Amino acid sequence: MRPSFTIGIEEEYQTVDPVTRDLRSHIATEMLAQGKRRLEERVKAEMHTSVVEVGTRICRNIDEARKDICELRREMIRLAAEHNLVLVAGATHPFADWRTQEIYPDPRYHQVVKDLQLVARANLIFGLHVHVGIEDREAAIRIMNSMRYFLPHIMALATNSPFWLGLNTGYKGYRAKVFENFPRTGIPDAFASYSDFENYVNLLIKTNCIDNAKKIWWDIRPHPFFNTVEVRACDIPLRAEETVAIAALIQATAAYLYRLHASNQDFRQYARPLLMENKFRAVRYGLDGKLIDFGRQEEIDERDLIREYIALIDPVVDELGSRDAINSIHTILETGTGADRQLKKFEETNDLKAVVDYMAEETKAGLFEDCPA
């Protein structure tokens, strides 16, 4: 049976003090309680109390996902303002210090901190997760195996974390470097079957490495509780429309790969060490770098590869109804990613507080004018 290719989007936002521009731990229980009353289970806490996460409903297509994520951003901007806070979409804060941030009072998060110690406390990062509905678990594994190749391309498009602890890191996507300190992260190996994956999970549980599969934090994974493939690799983009474009690209990639598999074809598999070379290039240089085309065995400009990538998945775009969202990727190629624009603002002002102000403006761009209500 053909997968549904439904979409679910999760975004993690920064809550920022409008005066100091530093992260501020909101009054977690009060703000979250209000958020849940308005948006039900689409709002939840994260490990650090200055992080708030939202998640869309299960969306049948990208238009529904756009409407939902715009509504969530709008409501969270309003809710933050009611608590004298500013909502910011950035995968790292330009100068906040994780050592001053509080951990949300939840036994699950305290267990993670107990297990991982400083690595967990320092994990003050903000991501974008995209779920694509693939109900057949064997198909999900096959698609995951093939989609690993495209993760660096997608990550380069989403880079939005050039600063850390007040420093220009030299990376466009430094969030990935912070998160790789966690165990069970990065691009996974390929699995022969879903039972092969299950055997891996069961061994980790049996040997007390994890208590459930949600503690497998790879860049892509078959979700342990939903019938989805979840791409977890991306920085949260500055603008909602960029999130929608990247989600549409991920959905179209899954649909394209499924079409190959259904025709008894496959996308060529490459070893994890090769894929990790491209991941490094993606987070280091973003769209301004070169990725390796392993088939041609040469470096190719990232923007050229993205254009080839868009052409590759084009046959499935119209049937998914995502032409406009995919076209927005060309805008990212022209204007640069959130990281590029943050760095440009810093070059103009030499002021990280001005960068935070810019990020806040970009976070709400289009939401109150032309984003669907």
- Is the pLDDT at 43 greater than 80, yes or no? no
Contact between 289 and 156 (Cβ < 8 Å): yes
The 10s digit of each residue's pLDDT in 52-98 is: 889 999 999 999 999 999 999 999 999 889 888 899 999 999 999 87
pTM, full prediction: 0.94
Q: What is the mean pLDDT of residues 325-339?
A: 97
What is the enclosing helix (H) or strand (E) of 360?
helix 352-363
Question: Is residue 240 very low, low, confident or very high in pLDDT (cuts 50, 70, 90)?
Answer: very high
Instruction: Tell me: pLDDT of 39 over 70.
Output: no
pLDDT for the residue 162: 98
Mean pLDDT of 330-341: 98
pLDDT reading at 308 higher than 80: yes
Q: Write down the pLDDT at residue 231.
A: 98
Q: What is the DSSP string of 242-311?
A: HHHHHHHHHHHHHHHHHHHHHTT--PPP--HHHHHHHHHHHHHHGGGSEEEETTTTEEEEHHHHHHHHHH
Between residues 112 and 194, the one the model is more confident about: 194
Architecture of domain 7-363: 2-Layer Sandwich (3.30)
Would you say residue 48 has pLDDT above 60? no
**Tens digits of residue pLDDT in 140-179:** 999 999 999 999 999 999 999 999 999 999 999 999 999 9
- Virtual CA dihedral for 110, 114, 118, 119, nearest 10 degrees? -80
* pLDDT mean across residues, the chain: 91
